[in-house]
Chain A
């Protein structure tokens, strides 16, 4: 504590004495440390983490795949960070910030004396450069969307070497959240490639370690294709613990690539890895029953943010569609039909059989794990085949002599559920639904397709009947799901990219989703999003089924381990993790 005070005093003196602009060398000694409130740990050791796939890139500007983003989140830092435990914004590279009363101007004071992992100093120019890159349409960063408010890009201005000002066209409900996970880039390494238009090709997987730099707790060390990627401790990281020790504690962070869920469980069970965060419920069970286990803990972190649902193809039919297709869409577009399907599905059986009880049945699309946003007053109609039959009858369906459901014209009702190959859980869910709907006299086929082929059918050709799929929000905030709920959205799965809302309730959802994005008051936003959840539950464009719990396994003896249901689960505070007894970690 004394050391931190001393550092602060020194920094202040220096700022006053020299003014901003030409003192970066001397300020090295005057780093404004961020002090962690976590337990004080011991330095040393390595942590081996299972990653389900090899990252595609080490370029934070263009990374979209989960493995790349998970690794890059360890080597880069953002200005304002959303604490994964409290869900509240907390200072990161910006030591403090102010928001103007109209909610349109953010003024951020940057931390003094921070250095990139290659030792070069960080200041407002790096921030300006980063925003310039993210906002440049030619670069095509996926982060660009989150920096566009009311169709206008945010404006970033440098006030002085350690102060930047961000102006928005409209008040933005998400506010500070837009800075979260937005990696600040080293201008000294990337400005030349940027001006030469080479940015997209920079920092690919084969890049040598000394050509990369970031502000995160770890820095890149080496990569063995197909096997592992190793990060090492960043000695310039800007956090300390309460005793003044520099974070992170761990010397190395090793990501091993294990594609299948089962192989992940086996590798973890055999002690080849210290952390695995995407255990399936069945493998969790197997690991739990393994009597020989001594060296790992299994953690049920609780209901997660993923939700699995069934949806019908609600795209409008065109003149070129076959009469068969027109007839089927006619069934799907009847609310009574979708309600009957929802009533017939045995969600509890899905929870029990597919997830061994480690999941929560859903009647709305926001899972209970998303505590800040879930609408708890949604009705939860219990499974009832009688009520399902009633709905079908009042929607004009009836049953023939062979007990098969037929429509008004006497055509037997049948359809196919597609889901992606390689996901046994979704396959099992589809099989359970198939059997449930057999009770209603509906013949359901189940087909698995390779994911890319499936997405092409869903989003491009619209050639399918119904689909079981899952979505997951990274941080649970409704703003991250705009693309799903807006009728013009590209992942508005049941009827994507509508030129104008096809139904009144989709128009209502559009209005509500747009409104919640500009309201600053959290309670008011919650009310708007509650209404969206009601509309979805009433009109059933998606029939929510289940939300699996987040299940993790970690080696015994990891200090400060506080996994969350939010992304990066056990790794969000990797800078604070340490080995209690043995500074070793799994051997690789």
Chain B
């Protein structure tokens, strides 16, 4: 009964996150334009106004946009740039769009005249999946190493935990520059980015490992673990059947906390030119243009990806919070 209440707490953020991730997966269908198509005469165009009322005051049932004097209705399921979803499915149908020469830039365009809304959706593919991937990697390494340190103790514990401190102290950022330099130039931008993100995640094992080690340390002292040991259970059995289940809640909470941090890491990497290369969009490289003073001071719609980032962060933290409550509410 006790755990019923927190359940509802996390269904909402979880459902919202699922919607966001689905939008990212179906970016091709939802986005009206190809994310890398440049409309060079339309650089830094503010968001297109979608109207229901025309200049003569008449109300239209179908929303429309103006191109000069002429109104163009927004059409649904229109033909446009071809796209693929995964490797399975390719199409030219987009959820909505307008006929040329009118344009529909819901979030304006960037410095090359590329549609920000389409880029935001496509960019989510990279940014949103960078988060869980990074979190998964570092929590997995954290469980293995932290679990081993806590369970076996002694010199294994000392070596692993001192190594963890070393990892926390090393300035990884410079290492990343070196790694990018050492990588061959001809590598798909997504691959290069995944590789760098994986490095960040793997070297980020130390923090979750500390936490897990603490849990394992207290877990292995419990009476039923001692009892199982007395009954002749092997180390592997003990870890697998009795100790790790206690850790799973913490690990999940950690992952939910770390995921937005790795989404942010993607933004930071892009900021320093280590992220996904042009022309592939990501929220990080969309935000990276804000380091230019002219963009920062002149084009407010370039901030919009930050809003999306903030929203996703909030959902993840709500989820982590709910998970945390649930873990705390668990018996034992």
Q: Which residues of A contact B (CB under 8 A)?
A: 261-262, 265-266, 280, 282-283, 285-286, 289, 346, 349, 352-353, 414-416, 418, 421-422, 424, 427-428, 430-432, 434-435, 445-450, 453, 463-465
Residue of A nearest to B187 (CB): A445
B47 contacts the other chain (Cβ, under 8 Å)? no
Choose, from B258-266, B291-299, B308-316, the stretch at the interface: B291-299
Q: With the chains together, A262 CA to B297 CA distance in Å?
A: 11
The residues of A that contact B272 with a CB separation of less than 8 Å are 421
Expressed in whole angstroms, the minimum distance between the Cβ of B272 and any Cβ of chain A is 7
CB pair B277 A445 closer than 8 Å: yes
The interface residues of chain B lying within 8 Å CB-to-CB of A453 are: 181
Bound-complex Cα distance A430 to B292 (A): 17
Q: Is the CB of A445 within 8 A of B186?
A: yes
Contact for B293 among A286, A349, A430, A463, CB less than 8 A: A286
- Contact partner of B181 (CB less than 8 A), chosen from A262, A424, A432, A450, is A450
Query: Contacts of A265 on B, CB cut-off 8 Å?
Result: 293
Q: How far is the CA of A515 from the CA of B187 in the complex (A)?
A: 45
Whether A446 lies near B277 (C-beta < 8 A) is yes
> Nearest residue in A to B183 (C-beta to C-beta)?
A447
CB of B21, distance to nearest CB on chain A (Å)? 28
- Complex contact B279–A416 (CB within 8 A): no
Residue of B nearest to A446 (CB): B278
CA gap between A453 and B113 in the complex, in Å:
32
Residues of B within 8 A of A421 (CB): 272-273
Which residue of B is nearest A447, CB measured?
B185
Q: Which residues of B contact A424 (CB under 8 A)?
A: 292
Of B23-31, B36-44, B144-152, B222-230, the one contacting chain A is B36-44
Q: How far is the CA of A450 from the CA of B176 in the complex (A)?
A: 12
Cβ contact of A353, chosen from B111, B180, B298, cutoff 8 A:
B111
Chain B hits for A289, CB < 8 A: 298
Q: How far is the CB of A464 from chain B (nearest CB, A)?
A: 6
Contact B294 A448 (CB under 8 A): no
Residues of A within 8 A of B181 (CB): 449-450, 453
B303 near A: Cβ within 8 Å? no
* Chain B residue nearest in CB terms to A457: B185
19 contacts between A and B (CB under 8 A): A262-B292, A266-B293, A280-B294, A283-B294, A285-B298, A286-B298, A353-B43, A415-B186, A416-B185, A416-B186, A428-B111, A434-B278, A435-B279, A445-B189, A446-B278, A447-B185, A464-B185, A465-B185, A465-B186
CB atoms of B297 and A286 under 8 A apart: yes
CB <8 Å contact, B298 and A431: no
Would you call A434 and B112 a contact (CB within 8 A)? Answer: no
Q: Report Cα–Cα, A453/B181, bound state, in Å.
A: 7
From B112, B113, B298, name the one whose CB has the most chain A CB atoms within 10 angstroms. Answer: B112
Q: A352 to nearest B CB, angstroms?
A: 7
- Tally of contact residues, B, Cβ under 8 A: 27
CB contact list, B284-325 vs A, under 8 A: 291-295, 297-298
Complex CA gap A366/B189 in Å reads 35
Q: Which residues of A contact B36 (CB under 8 A)?
A: 435
- Of all chain A residues, which has the CB nearest B41? A352
* A352 and B273 form a contact (CB under 8 A): no
B172 at interface by CB-CB < 8 Å: no
- In the complex, the chain B residue whose C-beta lies closest to that of A424 is B292
Evaluate contact between B292 and A282: CB separation under 8 angstroms.
yes
Q: How far is the CA of A86 from the CA of B180 in the complex (A)?
A: 47
Tell me, in angstroms, the Cα distance from A422 to B185 when the chains sit together: 18
A414 to B272, CA, bound (A): 25
A435 touches B38 (CB 8 A): yes
Would you call B52 an interface residue if the criterion is a C-beta within 8 Å of the partner chain's C-beta atoms?
no
Q: Please, what's the 1-or-0 string for B113-145, where 1 marks a CB less than 8 Å from any CB in chain A?
A: 100000000000000000000000000000000
Q: Is B76 an interface residue (CB 8 A)?
A: no
Question: For the complex, what is the distance from the CA of A283 to the CA of B292, rounded to whole Å?
Answer: 9
Nearest B residue to A354 via CB reads B111
A285, A353, A432: which has the most chain B beta carbons within 10 Å? A353
- CB of B173 closer than 8 Å to a CB of A: no
- Give the chain A neighbours of B292 by CB distance below 8 A: 262, 282, 424
C-alpha spacing A279/B216, complex, angstroms: 59
Residues of B near A448 (CB, < 8 A) are 273
Report yes or no: B298 in contact with A414, Cβ–Cβ below 8 A. Answer: no
The chain A residue sitting closest to B295, CB to CB, is A282
**Least CB distance, A157 to chain B, in whole angstroms:** 52
Binding site for A on B (CB under 8 A): 36, 38, 40, 43, 111-113, 177, 180-181, 185-189, 272-273, 277-279, 291-295, 297-298
Across the interface, do A262 and B293 meet the contact criterion of CB distance under 8 Å?
yes
Nearest 3 pairs between A and B by C-beta?
A262-B293, A282-B294, A416-B185
If A289-B298, A353-B111 touch, whether A447 touches B277 (CB-CB below 8 Å) is yes
Contacts of B277 in A (CB 8 A): 445-447
Instruction: Knowing A286-B293, A346-B40 are in contact, say whether A418-B278 is a contact too (CB < 8 A).
Output: no
Give the complex CA separation of A10 and B292 in angstroms. Answer: 60
- State the Cβ distance, B185 to closest chain A Cβ, in Å: 4
Which residues of chain B are within 8 angstroms of A349 by Cβ–Cβ distance? Answer: 40
User: Given the complex of chains A and B, what is the CA–CA distance between A407 and B273 in angstroms?
Assistant: 32
- Chain A residues contacting B298 (CB-CB under 8 Å) are 285-286, 289
Contact indicator A431/B112 (Cβ below 8 Å): yes
Contact partner, B40, options A353, A415, A465, Cβ 8 Å: A353
CA gap between A432 and B110 in the complex, in Å: 13
Expressed in whole angstroms, the Cα–Cα distance for A83 and B72 within the complex equals 60
Q: Is A414's CB under 8 angstroms from B40's CB?
A: no
Chain A residues contacting B279 (CB-CB under 8 Å) are 431, 434-435
A428 to B288, CA, bound (A): 13
Residue in A414, A435, A449 with the greatest tally of chain B CB atoms within 10 Å = A435
* CA A449 to CA B185, docked complex, whole Å: 10
- On chain A, the residues within 8 Å of B113 by CB distance are 353
Query: A414 touching B112 by the CB < 8 A rule?
Result: no
Are B293 and A418 touching (Cβ within 8 A)? Answer: no
Q: Which residue of B lies closest to A454 (CB)?
A: B181
Q: Report chain A residues within 8 Å CB of B187.
A: 445
Residues of A within 8 A of B40 (CB): 346, 349, 352-353
Asked if residues B294 and A285 are in contact (CB atoms below 8 Å), the reply is yes
A282 proximity list for chain B (CB < 8 A): 292-295
Q: Report whether A414 and B273 are in contact in the complex, using a CB–CB cutoff of 8 Å.
A: no
B297 CB to nearest A CB, Å: 5
Given A445-B189, A450-B177, A463-B185, decide whether A262 and B291 contact each other with a Cβ distance below 8 A: yes
Closest to B43 in A: A353
CA of A418 to CA of B189, assembled, Å = 13
Having A427-B278, A450-B181, one finds 5 other A-B pairs with CB under 8 Å, namely: A262-B293, A416-B186, A418-B185, A445-B186, A465-B186
Bound Cα distance from A428 to B295, whole angstroms? 14
Question: Provided the pairs A447-B185, A450-B177 are in contact, do residues A283 and B293 lie with their beta carbons within 8 angstroms?
Answer: yes
Task: Looking at the assembled complex, report how far the CB atom of A245 sits from the nearest CB atom of chain B, in whole angstroms.
Answer: 40
Residues of chain B within 8 A (CB-CB) of A427 are: 273, 278
Residue on A nearest B182 in the bound complex, by CB: A453
CB neighbours (8 Å) of A463 from chain B are: 185
Given the complex of chains A and B, what is the CA–CA distance between A353 and B272 in angstroms? 22
Closest to B298 in A: A286
Residues of B within 8 A of A428 (CB): 111-112
Nearest-CB distance from A291 to chain B (Å)? 12
- Chain A nearest CB from B171 CB (Å) reads 15
User: How many Å lie between the Cα of A448 and that of B183 in the bound state?
Assistant: 12
A283, A286, A422, A435: the one contacting B112 at CB < 8 Å is A435
Question: Which A residues lie within 8 Å of B294 (CB)?
Answer: 280, 282-283, 285-286
Contacts of B297 in A (CB 8 A): 286
User: B111: which A residues are within 8 A, CB to CB?
Assistant: 353, 428
Note all chain B residues with C-beta closer than 8 A to A415: 186
Q: Please, which residue of chain A has its CB at the minimum distance from the CB of B36?
A: A435
Q: Residue of B at shortest CB range from A464?
A: B185
CB distance from B90 to the nearest CB of A (A): 12
A26 and B111 alpha carbons, distance in the complex (Å):
67
Within the assembled complex, what's the spacing in Å between the Cα atoms of A422 and B273? 8
Residues of chain B within 8 A of A416, CB atoms compared: 185-186
- The interface residues of chain B lying within 8 Å CB-to-CB of A449 are 180-181
Q: Which residue of B lies closest to A262 (CB)?
A: B293
A432/B177 contact (C-beta < 8 A), A353-B40, A353-B43, A464-B185 known: no
